[in-house]
Amino acid sequence: MEQTEERRALADAVRGLLSGYDARQAASLPAGYDPALWTRLCKEIGVAGLAVPEEYGGAGATLLESCVVLAELGRTLMPAPLFSTVLAGQALLLTTDEEARARLLPGLATGDRTAVVILDPVGAAGSRLTGEAHQVLDASAADTFLVATGDALYEVDAAAPGLTARDADALDPTRRLGTVTLDDTPGRRLPGDNPLPALRDTALVALAAEQVGTATRALELTLDYTKTRVQFGRPIGSFQVLQHRLAEAHVRLEAATAAAEAAADALVSGAPDASERAAVAKVTCSETLQAIAAEMTQMHGGLAITWEHDAHLYLRRAWSSAQLFGTPATHIERLAASLLR
C-alpha cells in the first residue's frame, strides 16, 4: 500500500484528534466507546464513510484509506465502532440490493448508524435465522445486523423478535465483544453471491492493519522506556542483549507491515491470490503483535503488570485480537490446504 501524501495527512489528522482522549476512559463508558469522539472522527474527518461510494454519501475512497485509520486507532487501543462499520459497508457493497444500499449506507457513512456483520455459521430456514455468534464486534451497540449464513447475506433489525445481543467477558477491556443469539429471527435476504469468503478476507485485512498500528506503538513505547530506565548506572537500552531483542522485534514488525500492505493491495485490486495474502497477513500480524507485546511487558519489568501502565493492555489486545476471525493456526491450515491444491 503506497503511503501517499493524502494517506499520511489522513493518519496525521486522526492521530492529532486521538491525542486528546484516553482509551481506558472511553472503554468504561456505557457504549464501550466515547460517542463524542466517534462523532468528531465521523464529522470532522469522515472516517466512517471513507470506503463508501459518493452516491451514498461517502468519500469514494477504498479500503486502503480505512486501513490507515484502523492502524491509528490500533496505536492507541482507542475503542470506536469503525471496524464493524467498515465491514458492514463492504458487506452491503457486495449485495445487488440497491434499495438496501441506499437505505443503510448513508447512515453508516455519517456514523449515525451502527451495523454489525456476523460471520459465525447461522442456520437459515427461508427468511428465519437460528444460531449463536460469538466474539461479535460492537454487538450491543448495533442498530442493524448483517448475517452471512454461508450462502447469502441477511439484514436483521436489532429489535427483531428472537434476537438478543449481550456483552461478553473479554480479555481486552478496550474492545467490546458480544454474543448474539438468533432464535427463529426474521431476516431480509439481500440478493447477491455468497459474501462470506470476501467478508472474511476483508475482516482479516482490516484486523491486520489495526494490529500493525498496535505493534508499532508498543515497540515505540518500549524503545523509549529502554532509553530512560537506568540500571547499573546506564540505560538498559545500552545492553546488547536488549538491543538484539529490539532489533528482532523491529524486523518482525517490518515483515508484518509488508504482509498487511500486500494483503490490502491484493484485496482492493482483486488479485487472484487475495485470499491467501489475507491469511498470511492474519498469521504474520497476529504473531508479530503477540511477540512485541510480550517484549514490551518484559522490558518494562514489574511496572508492566500494574493497572496504571498500558503495557498489559497491549498484551491483552495482542492475544485477544489473534483469536478474532480464526486463530493463526486455523489460517495456517487453510494456507496449507490451498498450496497443496
Give the residue from 6, 164, 18 showing the smallest Cα distance to 82.
Answer: 18
Q: Which of 75, 82, 66 is CA-nearest to residue 23?
A: 75
pLDDT of residue 1: 65
C-alpha torsion angle, residues 286, 292, 298, 303 (rounded to 10):
-90
Are 91 and 185 within one domain? Answer: yes
Q: Which residue from 65, 57, 66, 19 is spatially nearest to 40, judged by alpha carbons?
A: 19
Which residue bears the cell 536488549?
A: 242
User: Phi and psi (nearest 5°) for 37?
Assistant: -65, -45
Domain co-membership, 172 together with 227: no
pLDDT of residue 46: 97
pTM: 0.95
202 and 180, same domain (yes or no)? no
User: Mean pLDDT for each 10-residue chunk of the chain (341 residues)?
Assistant: 86 95 93 95 97 96 97 97 97 95 97 94 90 94 93 95 93 94 96 92 98 98 94 92 96 97 97 96 98 96 83 96 96 90 76
Instruction: Return the closest-CA partner of residue 208 out of 138, 257, 248.
Output: 257
Same domain? 107 vs 231: no
- Domain span at 177: 5-190
Domain-terminating residue out of 174, 190, 206 = 190
* DSSP category for residue 4: -
pLDDT at 294: 96
| In a shared domain, residues 239 and 260 | yes
CATH number of the domain that residue 20 is part of: 2.40.110.10
Q: Which of 155, 190, 225 corresponds to the end of one domain?
A: 190
User: From the centroid of its chain, how far is CA 314?
Assistant: 14
Domain boundary among 156, 190, 224: 190
Residues 215, 283, single domain; the answer is yes
Q: In terms of Cα–Cα distance, which of 136, 17, 21 is closest to 84?
A: 136
- What is the distance between the alpha carbons of residues 237 and 227, in angstroms, rounded to a whole number? 5
Q: Is residue 219 domain-shared with residue 318, that is, in the same domain?
A: yes
Kind of pairing, strands 234-235 and 230-231?
Answer: antiparallel
Say which amino acid occupies 40.
R
Residues 31 and 137 in one domain: yes
Residues 122 and 242 in one domain: no
Reading the block at residue 32, the C-alpha cell is 464501550
pLDDT the model gives residue 120: 87
pLDDT value of position 153: 95
Which pLDDT score is estimated for 180? 96
pLDDT for 20 equals 86
Per-residue H/E/C for 19-49: CCCCHHHHHHCCCCCCHHHHHHHHHHHCHHH
Whether 183 and 220 share a structural domain: no
Considering the domain architecture, whether residues 36 and 164 belong to the same structural domain is answered as yes
Torsions phi, psi of 173, nearest 5?
-75, -10
For the chain, the distance separating the N- and C-terminal CA atoms, rounded to the nearest angstrom, is 29
pLDDT at 269: 96
Query: How large is the angle between the packed helices 274-299 and 311-321, nearest 10 degrees?
Result: 150
Number of domains in the chain: 2
Q: In this structure, are 175 and 253 located in the same domain? A: no
254: which residues sit within 8 A by CB, 6+ positions away? none
Q: Which helix (H) or strand (E) holds 294?
A: helix 274-299
Query: Nearest-5° angle of CA 298, CA 301, CA 307?
Result: 100
CATH number where 232 lies: 1.20.140.10
